[in-house]
Amino acid sequence: MRMELIQPFINAADAVLSETLACSITVSDISMNEEAYQRHATAAMVEITGDIEGRVIFDVEDGTAMKVASTISGNMELDPDPQLIRETVAELANLVIGNAVTTLNDQGFRFKVHPPVDHPALQGFQGAEDIEALVMDFSSPAGRVFMNVAIRYNRRRRADSRTH
């Protein structure tokens, strides 16, 4: 996987998580994942189509999601609730991916970001033969967040655009 495609996602996750968790974030582990993705906690998936295609899974520990929900809600004390956690993870995915694709678009890539969907299965979405998945483990005092990115250049689109 090309680093220039991945870096905007790392930068966006770092910026959005730092802001929404109100604490510092570190990338504690990065690994390639050729197996089906193993969900850790509550996950949402966003599909990307266009010059770049693939999908990003955002997987957030419940306590971390509640901390984000509290921070975004003006530091209100909130009771843990599965629905609120799912909504928070989806919105977090939306924020990170939206910010990442903003950077990529300003670099000249054109694509569509689809709305986040729940990723309830414990296992699934194996990287295809030519789309390896990169898994990043973000750690913070408020808990852990996993981001699984499997994207690639859409070769046909890029070739088409070169011929026109």
Partner 1 sequence: MEQFPALLRATDHQPVRYLVVDDSIFARKNLARIIDSYGGMLAGEAGDGCTAIAEYDRTRADIVLMDITMPQMEGIEAAERIVRQHPDARVIMVSSVGYQENIVAALQKGARHFVQKPVKPELLYEVIKYVLGDAAITGQVSQAGESLS
Interacting residues with partner 1 (CB under 8 A)? 16, 19-20, 69, 72-76, 84, 87-88, 90-91, 94-99, 101-102, 105-106, 110, 113-116
Tokens 């990170």 sit at which residue? 96
When the beta carbons of 3 and 76 are compared against partner 1, the nearer one is: 76
Q: Round to whole Å and give the CA distance between 30 and 138.
A: 9
Q: Minimum Å distance from CB 41 to partner 1?
A: 17
When the beta carbons of 91 and 136 are compared against partner 1, the nearer one is: 91
Q: Minimum Å distance from CB 11 to partner 1?
A: 14
Q: Minimum Å distance from CB 85 to partner 1?
A: 10
Among 63, 52, 64, smallest CA distance to 2 is for: 52
Q: Round to whole Å and give the CA distance between 80 and 65.
A: 9
When the beta carbons of 95 and 150 are compared against partner 1, the nearer one is: 95
Q: Report the 3 state secondary structure along 50-106.
A: ECEEEEEEEEECHHHHHHHHHHHCCCCCCCCCHHHHHHHHHHHHHHHHHHHHHHHHH
Q: Minimum Å distance from CB 99 to partner 1?
A: 6
Among 152, 125, 151, 143, smallest CA distance to 39 is for: 125
When the beta carbons of 127 and 143 are compared against partner 1, the nearer one is: 143
When the beta carbons of 13 and 127 are compared against partner 1, the nearer one is: 13
Q: Round to whole Å and give the CA distance between 140 and 18.
A: 9
Q: Minimum Å distance from CB 123 to partner 1?
A: 26
